[in-house]
Structure 1
Amino acid sequence: MPADPARVIAAARGWLGTPYHDQASVKGAGCDCLGLARGVWREVVGPEPLPVPAYSRDWGEAGPVEVLADGAGRWMLMVPVAEAGPGALVLFRMRRGAIAKHIGILTGPAHGPATFLHSYEGLGVVEEPLTPAWARRIALAFLFPATSEAR
């Protein structure tokens, strides 16, 4: 059962203005895109199920393993990208041939301009329009679960 999208969005918006900090997840102090998702998980679902190992910042990273997608698929509810709405966590593939390395949370209304929240180097946590340039990079979508039990 998925978590209430309004609760996910409210939790994510609580991180607005948090500065960007690679591999961090502390509301108001610093986070990267994964740190934002981790913080929302803690607020909406509960304690994180596993510690997060160190990871590369390279958006062009290629390889046979979709680490973010595999992790999200283990603990979250996968949905088709076309059906992802407000409250969904989306994974972006920033370069052709690269693995998905950026995370956002959709916030926009179902029948209006789409928006999303993410943590971006130089900006921190921001909410902005899901422009065509961002939308075409969405590779996968997931819903936060209502509980932290593994699927």
Structure 2
Amino acid sequence: MNAVVTEARAWIGTPYVHQAACRGAGTDCLGLIRGVWRALMGHEPEAVPAYTQDWSEPSGEEVLMQAAGRWLVPRPAGPPDPGDVLLFRMRDAGVAKHLGIVSGPDRFIHAYTGHGVTESPLSAPWARRIAARFAFPERI
């Protein structure tokens, strides 16, 4: 089994807590990625500044996309592979502001308000919102 998927599945059931990243206690979608990073890669490569739930929608700046580009490996267009990190745009002209980890064919693990960390179908409504996909780097 893919180590990224195994670690992400260990977070399932963690409640949603904005800006948190603690398995079992609370996390948001970014916290899930941060927690998987810590488990597999070690220390986080940069401090995460405070952020609002709308991310940078008012400014239109792709803050999350830029951070992903600094630390994750861009993947080409095409079907996602288990362990890939997906970035989603929740509105057509909006910034990417949601993250998930592909767990299998047509499934992904993510954290969201009211549900915590869950494994969901990567259904057509989710798939059409994918803005980019990345992979965790080889251990750095």
Equivalent residue for 1:11? 7
Counterparts in 2 of 1:121 and 1:81: CA distance versus 1, 3 Å: farther
C-alpha displacement at 1:61, in angstroms? 1.4
Q: List gaps (5 residues or longer) in structure 2.
A: none
1-structure distance, mates of 2:55, 2:61: 14
List aligned pairs for 1:1-151, cutoff 5 A: 6-58=2-54, 61-109=57-105, 114-148=106-140
Q: List gaps (5 residues or longer) in structure 1.
A: none
C-alpha displacement at 1:128, in angstroms? 1.0
Deviations 1:77-136 (CA, angstroms, capped at 9, x unpaired): 001241421100000000021100000000113xxxx10000010000000110100000
Over aligned residue pairs, what C-alpha RMSD do you find?
1.5
Task: State how many pairs are aligned.
Answer: 140
2-structure distance, mates of 1:127, 1:94: 18
Corresponding letter in the other structure for 1:108: G
Counterparts in 2 of 1:83 and 1:132: CA distance versus 1, 3 Å: closer
SS in 1 for 2:138: coil
Corresponding letter in the other structure for 1:27: R
C-alpha displacement at 1:45, in angstroms? 1.3
C-alpha displacement at 1:36, in angstroms? 0.3
Higher strand share: 2
Q: 1:84·1:142 contact (CA, 8 Å) conserved in 2?
A: no
- Deviating beyond 2 angstroms after TM superposition, the runs of 4 or more aligned structure 1 residues are 62-65
